[in-house]
């Protein structure tokens, strides 16, 4: 990563007008799909992530089931039209890695032990990509799981932080991701004070890493508030319908 243009001006304002700690606008549309058991369209900046959940369902082939808990199957994919250059529809190594990284982030929060011998399918489709899609994907998957009524130890909120023009900034946009000095996606469960996904690439001093982790957690808290509000609103609506 090499800095090519100014990413933060003298007033501390970023290319898209945000301050260093500001998140991009987030929009959550729960129940976006009709046929999935749970679904959400999650928008953060220009990111458009569609996540959906099926299950718990019977496992095929049978021998992959586990006697004491549900297995998770996670697929993360980017649409061919989601990026500046068209992406080939064949899965890339990055998509295979991120499918695993997202599954790992969710395994410990889903109460899989309640559904032995079943599978829970989680699909994360990036319809438009604008940096931070893996953590946006975890955020969206957590919402889709909640929408599907799958019990979890807590709601996972993801946000990336990074380094641009030597400063730690929250929720990188596409330019900052490409031209900044470091990218650090984090997924966090506020009610447990635990991290379920942590990656970093780029260059940071140890001091910067500490600061980045702290800012990532603050950002995740903000995302979490929006998740909770969206779920509450839907729950209240349902309750009202029942009356």
Partner 1 sequence: MSITREKPVVSKILQKEMLELLSNGVRIDKRKLDEYRKISYQTGIIEKADGSALLSLGETMVLVGVKVELGQPFGDTPDQGVLVVNAELLPLASQTFEPGPPDERAIALARYVDRSIRESNMVDLKSLVIVPGKVCYVVYVDVYVLDYGGNLIDASVLAAAKALENTKIRKYEVDENGKLTETENVENLKLNDFPISVTFGIINNKYFVDPNLEEEQTCDTFLTFTYTQTGNICAVMKNEQGLISPAQVIEMMELGWKKAKEISSLMLGGQKGNDQENIGNAGS
Q: Tokens 């290319």 belong to which residue?
A: 15
Rounded distance, CA 243 to CA 227, Å? 25
Nearest to partner 1 of 37, 227 (CB atom) = 37
Smallest gap from Cβ 89 to a second copy, in A, equals 12
Q: How many residues bind partner 1 (CB under 8 A)?
A: 75
Site for partner 1 in 51-90 (CB under 8 A): 51-52, 54, 57, 64, 66, 71-75, 79-86, 89-90
Rounded distance, CA 78 to CA 125, Å? 6
Site for partner 1 in 201-230 (CB under 8 A): 201-206, 209-210, 213-214, 217
Q: Of 175, 187, 180, 188, whose CA–CA distance to 208 is shortest?
A: 180
Smallest gap from Cβ 92 to a second copy, in A, equals 16
93 contributes a contact to a second copy by CB under 8 A: no
Span interacting with a second copy, options 34-42, 55-63, 78-86, 219-227, rule CB under 8 A: 55-63
Q: Which does 205 bind (CB under 5 to 8 A by kind): a second copy, partner 1, none?
A: partner 1
Nearest to partner 1 of 11, 34 (CB atom) = 34
Burial annotation 166-193 (CB, 10 A radius, 16+ → b, else e): ebbbbbbbbbbbebbbbbbbbbbbbeee
Span interacting with a second copy, options 26-34, 57-65, 203-211, 218-226, rule CB under 8 A: 57-65
Among 63, 93, 242, 243, binds a second copy (CB under 8 A): 63
Among 4, 5, 60, 93, binds a second copy (CB under 8 A): 60
Nearest to a second copy of 64, 229 (CB atom) = 64
Span interacting with a second copy, options 56-64, 88-96, 206-214, 217-225, rule CB under 8 A: 56-64
Contact of 57 with 48, CB cutoff 8 Å: no
Site for partner 1 in 157-186 (CB under 8 A): 182, 184
Q: Of 84, 90, 95, whose CA–CA distance to 130 is shortest?
A: 84
3-state secondary structure of 210: helix
3-state secondary structure of 65: coil
Rounded distance, CA 36 to CA 55, Å? 9
184: left (phi over 0), alpha (psi -120 to 50) or beta: beta
Residue numbers at the binding site for a second copy (CB under 8 A): 60-61, 63
């Amino acid at each position: 990563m090499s800095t090519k243009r100014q990413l933060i001006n003298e007033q501390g304002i970023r290319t898209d007008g945000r301050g260093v700690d500001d998140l991009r606008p987030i929009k959550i549309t729960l129940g976006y799909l009709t046929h999935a058991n749970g679904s959400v369209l999650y928008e953060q900046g220009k990111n458009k992530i569609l996540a959906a959940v099926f299950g718990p369902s019977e496992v095929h082939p049978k021998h992959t089931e586990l006697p004491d808990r549900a297995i998770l199957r996670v697929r993360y994919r980017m649409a061919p039209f989601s990026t500046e250059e068209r992406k080939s529809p064949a899965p890339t190594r990055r998509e295979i890695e991120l499918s695993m990284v997202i599954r790992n982030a969710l395994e410990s929060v889903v109460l899989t032990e309640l559904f032995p011998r079943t599978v829970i399918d989680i699909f994360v489709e990036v319809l438009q990509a604008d940096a931070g899609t893996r953590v946006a994907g975890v955020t969206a998957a957590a919402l889709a799981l909640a929408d599907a009524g799958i019990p979890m130890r807590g709601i996972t909120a993801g946000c990336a932080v990074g380094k641009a023009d030597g400063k730690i900034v929250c929720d990188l946009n596409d330019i900052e991701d490409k031209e900044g000095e470091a990218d650090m996606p984090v997924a966090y469960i506020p009610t447990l004070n635990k991290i379920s996904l942590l990656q970093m690439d780029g260059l940071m001093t140890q001091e910067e890493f500490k600061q980045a982790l702290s800012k990532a957690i603050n950002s995740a808290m903000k995302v979490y508030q929006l998740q909770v509000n969206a779920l509450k609103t839907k729950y209240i609506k349902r309750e009202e319908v029942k009356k």
